[in-house]
Amino acid sequence: MAKILGNRALGENFYLLTAEQENSARRGQFYMLRAWEHYPVLSRPISVFDADGGTVSFLYKVVGKGTELFSTLKEGQEITLDGPHGNGFPALPDKRRIALVGGGVGIAPLYLAARTYKEENPACTVDLYLGFSGQPVLTREFEAVADGTTVNVGGFVTDDIDPCAYDAILACGPTPMMRALYRKCTKSGAKAPLYVSLENRMACGIGACLVCTCKTDLGRKKVCKDGPVFLGSEVFGDE
């Protein structure tokens, strides 16, 4: 069990929960969270928003019973954190211009990604493209870890990016957003590889139940174990 250090309402049903937990979580990984005994049956997968050796935080949006229960948690209470799971975003030591594109709660894993890419290679440029349907959240925090931050409210965040201006592009958000971004990259002739983080529904989170599988050019893969990060060409290439 992990002690909750804070669970802050940010508006638009977004919350930022921080817990005390020794960890070696990497960008793009996720935990299975649980704050109840019997119902709902399944733990819920939530991406790592930020982590250091002793704490981990999660940006989540209330959409149903599980996330609603998370939103009631108070400082000092406990939560079960199982993880970190998944492969996470890759190391990009030779990429000078990196774009991170997030839609809705898909912005969650991009904070740690931006922060660590900049820390690992201060000479690289990291630009964030954040899409919101309502009031933006945590924009100041995102701005602090990136070179450029473009915020789109109510439109298509994929309209804002020129894929040819980057050496690598990473995205997380609704599948139609990531598919549109893949098509834009292909159409524009961009050389940058596109990595997408999928948020398929999960049950076990550890590769045992097959609930989360997705179609790839190499057959079906488990999003929890083989992903959640895949090359865009792997999952959208033959559509």
The residue behind tokens 């965040």 is 157
Pick the stretch among 53-61, 75-83, 142-150, 161-169 that binds ligand FAD (CB under 6 A): 53-61
Selected from 96, 191, 201, 215, the binder of ligand FAD by CB under 6 A is: 201
- For the chain, give the number of residues: 239
- Under the binding rule (CB under 6 A), the answer on residue 98 touching ligand FAD is no
44 lies in the binding site for ligand FAD (CB under 6 A) = yes
Q: Which residues bind ligand FES (CB under 6 A)?
A: 202-205, 207-212, 222, 224
The 214-233 site mask, x for binding ligand FAD (CB under 6 A), equals --------------x-----
In the complex with ligand FES, the residue whose CB is nearer, 9 or 210, is 210
Identity of the residue, 4 or 202, whose beta carbon is nearer to ligand FES in the bound complex: 202
Nearest one of 175, 29, 181 to 108, comparing CA atoms: 29
Which partner, ligand FAD, ligand FES, none, binds residue 65 by CB below 5 to 8 Å per kind?
A: ligand FAD
Q: How far apart are CB 46 and ligand FES at their closest, in Å? A: 14
Residues 6 or more apart whose CB falls under 8 angstroms from that of 104 comprise 61, 131, 132, 133, 173, 174
Sign of the torsion formed by the C-alpha atoms of 18, 86, 113 and 174: negative
What does 69-97 look like in DSSP terms, one character per residue? HHHT--TT-EEEEEEEES--SPP-TT-SE
* Contact residues: ligand FAD, CB under 6 A: 30, 40, 44-47, 58-61, 63-67, 105, 108, 199-202, 228
